[in-house]
Amino acid sequence: MEYLKQWQQTYNKQLCKDYIYHIRIFTKEASFTIHTASYKDIVGYIAIRRKLGDSMYILKNKVASIKKYYQCLIDLEIIKHHPCKHLILKDKQDTRIDLDRLYSSEQLANFLQRKNTGSKALTIRNELIRSFLVYQALTVSEIGNLRLNDIDLDTATLVVRNSRKLEINPKQMLTIYRYIEEYRDDLLKGKQTDILLLSRTGKPLNIEHINYMINHGFEKKFIPKFIRQSVIHNLLKSGKDLRSVQLFAGHKSILTTEQYKNTNFEELKSQLQLRHPLNHLK
Torsion-angle region of 201 (φ positive above 0: left; ψ -120 to 50: alpha; else: beta): alpha
Q: Which H or E element spans position 157?
A: strand 157-160
pTM of the model: 0.68
Enumerate domains of the chain plus CATH numbers. 2-75 (no CATH), 115-217 (1.10.443.10)
Q: CB count, 10 Å around CB of 194?
A: 9
Average per-residue pLDDT for the chain: 84
Instruction: Tell which wins on pLDDT, 15 or 204.
Output: 204
Q: What is the pLDDT of residues 38-77, one digit of tens each?
A: 999 999 999 998 888 787 778 888 898 899 889 888 888 8
Residue type, 91: D
| 272 has a pLDDT exceeding 80 | no
How far is 236 from 260, CA to CA, in rounded Å? Answer: 7
CA nearest neighbour of 266 among 240, 222, 227, 236: 236
Nearest to 179 by CA among 137, 134, 148: 148
Instruction: Give the Cα-Cα-Cα angle 164, 167, 171 (nearest 5 degrees).
Output: 145
pLDDT per residue as tens digits for the range 190-236: 888 999 999 888 888 877 778 888 888 888 889 898 999 999 999 99
Residues whose CB falls within 8 Å of the CB of residue 115, separated by 6 or more in sequence, listed in order: 123
What b/e readout covers 44-82, taking b as 16+ CB neighbours within 10 angstroms? Answer: ebbeebbeeebbeebbebbbebbbbbbebbeeeebbeeb
Task: At 164, give phi and psi (nearest 5°).
Answer: -105, 120
